[in-house]
Amino acid sequence: MAHHQSSPIDHPEIQSASTLQYVSAFVLGLALMIVSCIITLGGGLSQSSTLTWIGILALIAVVGQLYLLFKLDLSKTMIWHTVSAVLTIPLVFISIVVTMWMFQYLEMRVMVGGS
C-alpha 93: how far from its chain's center? 13
> Between residue 13 and residue 72, which ones bind another protein under the rule CB under 8 A?
none
Query: 19-44: string of b/e by CB count within 10 Å (b at 16+)?
Result: eeeeeebeebbeebeeebeebeeeee
Nearer to another protein, 53 or 71 (CB): 71
Q: Which listed residue (9, 41, 74, 110) binds another protein by CB under 8 A? A: 110
Q: Which listed residue (20, 91, 112, 113) binds another protein by CB under 8 A? A: 91
What is the contact surface with another protein in residues (CB under 8 A)? 1-5, 80, 87-88, 91, 94-95, 99, 101-103, 105-106, 108-110
